[in-house]
A and B are shown apart, each in its own frame.
Chain A
Amino acid sequence: MKKYLFLILVLTLISTFSFSQAKRPTIMIVPSDNWCFQNGFIEEVDNQGIKEKRPNYARALMENSDLGNVITKINGLMGDRGFPLETLEEALKTVKQNSAELMVMQSKSSGSEVNQSAYDQLMNVVKSDIILKLGWTTTKSGFNKSIQINIEAIDAYTGESIASQNPPGEPSSTADVPTMLSVAVLSVIDNFNSRLQQYFDDLFANGRKITVRLNKFSSWSGDFESEFDYNGSTDELNTIIDDWFTKNTVKGRFNNTGSSENVMNFRQVRIPMFNEKGKAIDAKDFVKPLQKMLQAPPFNIPTKLVPKGLGQAWLILGEK
């Protein structure tokens, strides 16, 4: 009997510990637009009559062996720090599989094709939280050449730059490009990770940053300016939702970047890393109580919650 009690205790402790771990952000590395343009890895696409130049990641990986080597090097170093990266090559394969589906998808209203950039397609497949944009330039001066590497981490949901490094490279007349690139990566990675660490520290101290968008289905007769009696006062729905965000964000921090009768946009919404039960939460988990509140009296609004990765959620009012 004692044995079973002990076993239950151990299992409970293990499950509590595993739930108390915050969701680890996923990171993927892609060549920067600038590097792709400089090295001719671009494609011209017709975006509803407008010709646009876009980076071609698949060709860049296939034709530039240095790019693959640098990505492998950074992946190894990040893996060593407990942050293995999402593989760009694998992601591109999935994009290729999905592209056939996308080709036949058409807009409901105009009948036009769904037109997504390589970056958009990639983001839809990988849903990485952090994107590392990588590039480098080689400069020649006499017999010497030097490589300046440029690496920037971007929060995929807020678009915010988290960390960046682009120190001038050491000139050399003897080293080959792969060796110089390898050294360039090693010279930036610690400072880069130090910035990343600051960003993670900020997440734990001030909460995770997410984006929330509230919309309405056109079939719904109400809107965000509809008035409701709630908690003893009559207010517009947008005021009630705004108050909900003030109450539920870390230190009441969020930016309402635009509200109208049809839409409410919240950016830089600081949500706690864990809920009151100690479970790690993401954008969807954070918005769920708001959804429940709106579905209950006095609002009685059917809603549809659409999670977009860990850091973004859309709540659409009026239908399920």
Chain B
Amino acid sequence: MRVRILLAFFILMSFQLLAQKERDPGTYNYEVQFIRTGLEGTELFKVFTYCKKEKDCFEYAKIDALKAILFKGIPGSGLQRPLVNEAGGEDKYRDYFKTFFSEGGKYLNFVAISNDGSIEDDDRLKVGKQLKIGVVVSVQKANLRRELESAGIVKKLSEGF
């Protein structure tokens, strides 16, 4: 009997752990503001993300910044048009982006938390049960474009010639 209870407990725990890996749908909102262009193909953005735990906001900020660059474009920045400008590109290359954005995935090569992760007081807000935090991230846009070009998702400028 004791063994069964223990087994049930472990099964429940493992479900709980798996559930924690999935992002809460309520945290999919984000806002990205362009800060400035750095030297050698980097751009700085402030990403406001929603999370329950502060450390999650840092991870979400990296993913959200890249998603904005890839699929939306960021007004005022050097990437006003989305990098993936093919209509329906997000769906067409779903498998690639699933792997790209997976835990420890390739996306980490192109984005980093800037300012040692320090958050300004005005950029830390409580919204309902969630935190809204403004995190500054640095994106290596030139390397990101090269990766997408070699994966055949983004056309090279010289393609067809």
Bound together, the chains give a CA A211 to CA B25 distance in angstroms of 56
* Least Cβ–Cβ distance between B130 and chain A, in angstroms: 33
* A-side contacts of B160, CB under 8 Å: 21-22, 200, 204, 273
**Contact residues in B for A24 (Cβ distance below 8 Å):** 158, 161
A residues within 8 A CB of B37?
170, 183, 186-187
**In the complex, how many angstroms separate the beta carbon of B136 from the nearest chain A beta carbon?**
15
Q: How far is the CB of A143 from chain B (nearest CB, A)?
A: 18
Question: Hey, which chain A residues are within 8 Å of B156, CB to CB?
Answer: 81-82
| B-side contacts of A197, CB under 8 Å | 85, 155, 157
What is the interface of chain A mostly: helix, strand, loop, or mixed?
A: helix
Residues of B within 8 A of A194 (CB): 80-81, 85
A23 touches B161 (CB 8 A): yes
Within 8 A of A (CB), among B8-48: 36-41
In which size bucket is the chain B interface?
A: 20 to 34
Secondary structure at the B interface, as helix, strand, loop or mixed, is: loop
- Which residues of chain A have C-beta atoms less than 8 A from B38's C-beta? 183, 186
Closest residue of B by beta carbon distance from A192: B78
Among B39, B156, B160, max chain A CB count under 10 A is at B160
Q: Any chain B CB within 8 A of the CB of A196?
A: yes
Cα distance, A197 to B156, chains bound together (Å): 9
Given the known inter-chain contacts A191-B80, A194-B81, A194-B85, please indicate yes or no for A179 contacting B39, CB distance below 8 A: yes
Q: Given A170-B36, A197-B155, are A190 and B141 neighbors across the interface (CB < 8 Å)?
A: yes
User: Please, which residue of chain B has its CB at the minimum distance from the CB of A84?
Assistant: B158
* Whole-angstrom CA separation of A179 from B37 in the bound complex: 12
A188 at the interface (CB under 8 A from B): yes
Q: Is B148 engaged at the interface, CB distance under 8 Å to the other chain?
A: no
Of all A-B residue pairs in the complex, the 3 with the closest CB atoms, nearest first, are A82-B158, A24-B161, A187-B37
Residues of chain A at the chain B interface (Cβ within 8 Å): 21-25, 80-83, 167, 170, 179, 182-183, 186-191, 193-194, 196-197, 200, 204, 273
